[in-house]
Amino acid sequence: GQQVMQIPQYQHVQEGEDFTTYCNSSTTLSNIQWYKQRPGGHPVFLIQLVKSGEVKKQKRLTFQFGEAKKNSSLHITATQTTDVGTYFCAGLVTNTGNQFYFGTGTSLTVIP
Amino acid sequence: NAGVTQTPKFQVLKTGQSMTLQCAQDMNHEYMSWYRQDPGMGLRLIHYSVGAGITDQGEVPNGYNVSRSTTEDFPLRLLSAAPSQTSVYFCASSYRGYSGANVLTFGAGSRLTVL
């Protein structure tokens, strides 16, 4: 079954509002990655988190990795229309070798 | 440097037909994988390979075969297509960095419809 769950599935925001997507795993993750897929495109790597409690920022994007390494979040401050797309987390599960389990994704729509 | 190249981009098959989705990368990546993307299901791993001659099953391997005779190529074969295999397929490769984690580079995708 799905090892990595992601919520919400869809999010509509007004331009300028903040946005957060959450990723939860039933098992401990070695690390977690985040990808963005523009409509009609392919997933593109954004960032990787490895350490427990790690927080990384990329301009308006803030990524967190939980203390127990079972959850993660992506927060976008003051969304712009260029943020439109689907955001996926991908967790590397410790006991499955090289398998990354992707979350179901959160589709973000930004209303101008 | 083309990255990850997938062909074809679009394909329509009839139930029972066979076909191969091609994937090639020119980055000398050791790890290659195939995912399928369906609405509400995210990306699910079909098969993966950690090097030439080595393949393993992912979450949803049934109905698909793979081989890895070279570092560059990782074709995905559908032996007898079924409507449930209608999906968008992504090939992804990675270089195993010093931390042991694989950052995936995806191809543009192949949209397959099985009638």
Residues 45-84 of B with CB under 8 A from A: 45, 48, 50, 56, 58-59
What is the tens place of the pLDDT at every residue in B5-60?
A: 999 999 999 999 999 999 999 999 988 999 999 988 889 999 999 889 999 998 89
pLDDT at B98: 41
Lateral strand order in the sheet of B76-78: B4-7, B19-25, B76-78, B64-66
Rounded-to-integer distance, Cα B46 and Cα B93, Å: 14
**Looking at residue B71, what DSSP letter applies?**
S
Chain segment A5-44, per-residue pLDDT in tens: 999 999 999 999 999 999 999 888 888 999 999 999 999 9
How far is it, in rounded angstroms, from Cα B41 to Cα A46? 20
- How many alpha carbons lie under 13 Å from residue A52 in its C-beta half-sphere? 5
Cβ contact B104–A44 (<8 Å): no
- State which residue of chain B sits closest to A31, comparing Cα positions: B101
In terms of C-beta density within 10 A (0-12 exposed, 13-18 middle, 19 or more buried), how is residue B1 classed?
Answer: exposed
Partner-chain contact A101 B40, CB within 8 Å:
no
* Type of residue at B35: Y
Q: From residue B60, how far is each of A33, B4, B44 by CA, in Å? A: 21, 22, 7
- For residue B9, give how far its alpha carbon lies from the nearest alpha carbon of chain A (Å): 12
Contacts of B100 in chain A (CB under 8 A): 30
Q: Which residue has the tokens 């930004």?
A: A110
Around Cβ B52, how many Cβ atoms within 10 Å?
16
Do the beta carbons of residue B92 and residue B33 sit within 8 Å? Answer: yes
CB B114 within 8 A of CB B86: yes
pLDDT tens digits for A46-79?
999 999 999 999 999 999 999 999 999 999 999 9
Residues of A with CB under 8 A from a CB of B: 2, 6, 9, 30-31, 33, 35, 41-45, 48, 50, 88, 90, 92, 97-105
Q: CB contact, 8 Å: B34 with chain A?
A: no
